[in-house]
């Protein structure tokens, strides 16, 4: 069974969007320390914001530092995602798209960009890789 099919799922984000997010967030010293690559930094930031928000929604105790981090970044993150070429809610991106970008090896990402594949073809190319990897692990 395929992970998903192209008619039901669209790869709305790619590494260019990650770069846009990274450049916008890169003005903050804390943000620059959370990862070595743009993908790592975006993943860490969004995961942290999500974790804090889920804790608050559950009524769990949230430390003042975490609360300050949420207030410091969440509006900026929402604004960045709203103004991307294909706007999307950041929590939806974290939950549905980011894991796919993390799971796709850099060489596959680079090949799809190098051969100037349109986003829909790039998504199909990367999806085939994920299906192959699932069917033939190791």
Q: Tell me: do 44 and 108 sit in the same domain.
A: no
Q: Tell me: do 62 and 123 sit in the same domain.
A: no
Residues in CB range of 129: below 8 A, 6 or more apart? 104, 105, 108
Unique residue bearing structure tokens 């069917």: 135
Calpha distance 17→83 (Å, rounded): 11
Q: Establish if 4 belongs to a structural domain.
A: no
Q: Tell me: do 46 and 74 sit in the same domain.
A: yes
Q: Establish if 132 belongs to a structural domain.
A: yes
Q: Tell me: do 69 and 131 sit in the same domain.
A: no
Q: Tell me: do 90 and 40 sit in the same domain.
A: yes
Q: Tell me: do 67 and 129 sit in the same domain.
A: no
Q: Tell me: do 110 and 98 sit in the same domain.
A: no
Q: Number of folded domains in the chain?
A: 2
Q: Tell me: do 23 and 45 sit in the same domain.
A: yes
Q: Tell me: do 22 and 84 sit in the same domain.
A: yes
Q: Tell me: do 63 and 118 sit in the same domain.
A: no
Calpha distance 48→92 (Å, rounded): 14
Per-residue pLDDT of the chain (138 residues; tens, 9 = 90+): 333 433 333 344 566 788 889 999 988 999 999 999 888 999 999 999 999 999 999 999 999 999 999 999 999 999 999 988 888 899 988 887 777 677 666 666 666 556 655 454 555 656 666 666 676 666
The answer to pTM > 0.75 is: no
Q: Tell me: do 40 and 28 sit in the same domain.
A: yes
Burial (CB count <10 Å: 0-12, 13-18, 19+), residue 77: buried
Q: Establish if 6 belongs to a structural domain.
A: no
Q: Establish if 70 belongs to a structural domain.
A: yes
Q: Establish if 8 belongs to a structural domain.
A: no
Instruction: Give the pLDDT confidence of 20-47 residue by residue, as tens digits.
Output: 899 999 889 999 999 998 889 999 999 9
Calpha distance 96→103 (Å, rounded): 12
Residue 81's H or E segment, with its range, is: helix 64-82
Domain membership of residue 35 as a residue range: 15-103
């Amino acid at each position: 069974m395929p992970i998903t099919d192209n008619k039901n799922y669209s790869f709305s984000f790619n590494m260019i969007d990650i770069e846009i997010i990274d450049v916008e967030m890169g003005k903050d010293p804390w943000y620059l320390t959370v990862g070595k690559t743009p993908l790592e930094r975006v993943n860490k930031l969004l995961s942290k914001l999500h974790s804090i928000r889920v804790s608050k929604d559950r009524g769990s105790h949230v430390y003042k530092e975490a609360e300050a981090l949420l207030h410091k970044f969440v509006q900026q993150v929402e604004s960045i995602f709203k103004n991307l070429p294909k706007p999307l809610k950041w929590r939806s991106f974290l939950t549905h798209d980011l894991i796919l970008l993390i799971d796709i090896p850099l060489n596959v990402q680079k090949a799809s960009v190098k051969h100037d594949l349109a986003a829909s073809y790039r998504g199909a190319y990367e999806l085939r890789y994920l299906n192959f990897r699932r069917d033939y692990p190791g």
